[in-house]
Structure 1
Amino acid sequence: MAKPSHTGTGKFRIIAGQWRGRKFPIADAEGLRPTTDRVRETVFNWLQPVVVDSQCLDLFAGSGSLGFEAASRGAKFVTFIEKQSAVARQLQRNIQTLGEPQLQAIEADALQWLQHTPAAPYSLIFLDPPFQQQLLMPAIELLQQPGYTEPGSYIYIEHEKGLALALPPHWQILKDKTFGQVQSTLIEVTE
């Protein structure tokens, strides 16, 4: 059973940092499921030592709640990748509202976008693809290409409860927790 889909307009709230309490609109899009406050609070407790000054990539960004939370807590740069046009436009509007040049929303298919080598490795990657669409394992394979990570990079994966992850040997699971039907896994790249 998948996490409930978001089918109406709404907002998400930043939990901590410079934009604490600020609410951002969410585009009305089928299947959009923003990471809940409870899950984000746990994830960012895990990430507290590494989020400040990080170079973040928010793949399958959706509402952007993970990337915006990271930026609020001191990430140096956040790139949001979102395929759905209306959702990507809402991300761009939210970025414009903040007026923060270190945030960038790109309308692109995440798997196609990952076929290009980045200018520099990311120290923090949020990987939260739509559930039950077989996107997670192809994304994991593409993230193993040279240039996306380096030793000490962290990858947060949000996936369906019970989904078996086939991780590369140099990806070490640091934390793993279930929230209802959602599994949260934090990984460190070791080489």
Structure 2
Amino acid sequence: MRIISGSHRGRQIIPDKNFTARPTTDFAKENIFNVLSNYINFEGISVLDLFSGTGSISYEFASRGANEIIAVELNYNHFAFIKRMSKELGFRNLKVYKTDMFMACQKLKGRKFDLIFADPPYNLPSIQQVPLSIFENDLLTENGIAVIEHPASVDYSALPYFYERRKYGSVNFSLFRKKAPGNSCEE
């Protein structure tokens, strides 16, 4: 796995052998970041990375100039790896919290993020609740984007704020926006 772009472009990230996370493939990550770059300028934004796993997505945002990144990871080994790697990479703007995603969303209620990325385990029983928790806790800025990575069997298209679905190989991303670009209408 590698950092695709920005100040640390090409840097290889090699997770510890005890990792159980399923990192987003470089192919899928590169494609979703290409899509996102058409919607948002990464420089100076605030990012919430839920189910951070290896931290790959957080490192990508930090490398591309995000001002603040909060990574949330419940697994201690993964949490410790992200902390160690962010220090090694010199990402002082990356904070890592060891907690449950749903609890983190409640604690962060009212905080606003320009971009929220969530990559829950595909077998998570409450996977349908992930985008709902983001919006119920009002975590996204008015023009922000939430991206949820999920298996093909999950369909978020009927949920409020669903914007579009992208598929790269076996990886699916659903994008959510409070306000569609160019749409001045109220909800």
Identify whether the pair has TM-score above 0.5, normalized to the shorter chain.
yes
Q: Which runs of 5+ in 1 are unaligned?
A: 1-11
AA at the equivalent of 2:17? D
> Could you tell me the percent identity over the aligned residues?
28
Contact 2:48–2:69 (CA<8 Å) still a contact in 1? yes
Partner of residue 65 from structure 1, selected from 56, 68, 77: 56
Match of 1:87 among 78, 87, 93: 78
Pick closer, same or farther for the CA change 1:189–1:29 going to 2, 3 Å. farther
Q: Would the alpha carbon gap of residues 68 and 135 (structure 1) be closer, same or farther in structure 2, given more than 3 Å must change?
A: farther
Matched, 1:48 2:3: no
- Deviation per residue, 1:48-98 (Å, 9 max, x gap): 141222100100000111111111111111111000000100000001112
| Count of matched residue pairs | 178
**RMSD of aligned residue pairs (Cα, Å):** 1.9
Deviation at 1:29, TM superposition (A): 4.3
Is the Cα contact below 8 Å between 1:129 and 1:135 reproduced in 2?
no
Q: 1:185/1:70 Cα in 2 relative to 1: closer, same or farther (>3 Å)?
A: same
Q: Which amino acid aligns with 1:173?
A: Y
Which consecutive residues of structure 2, in runs of 5 or more, have no partner in the other structure?
180-186
Matched, 1:181 2:163: no
- Aligned AA for 1:19? H
Deviation at residue 145 of structure 1 after TM alignment: 2.5
CA distance in 2, matches of 1:22, 1:30: 19
Query: Given the alignment of the two structures, is residue 156 of structure 1 paired with residue 147 of structure 2, yes or no?
Result: yes
For the pair 1:143 / 2:164, whether they are aligned, the reply is no
Q: Following the alignment from structure 1 to structure 2, what is the Cα–Cα distance between the partners of residues 31 and 99? A: 25
CA change 1:73–1:134 in 2 (3 A) is same
Q: Secondary structure at the match of 1:134?
A: coil
Letter in 1 for 2:54: S
Q: Distance in 2 between matches of 1:167 and 1:125?
A: 19
Provide the residue aligned with 2:183 in structure 1: none
TM-score, normalised to structure 2, is 0.86
Runs of 4+ off more than 6 Å: none
**SS of aligned partner of 1:153:** strand
Q: Distance in 2 between matches of 1:138 and 1:64?
A: 22
Greater mean deviation of Cα atoms: 140-149 or 75-84: 140-149
**Partner of 2:182 in structure 1?**
none
Shift of 1:119: 6.2
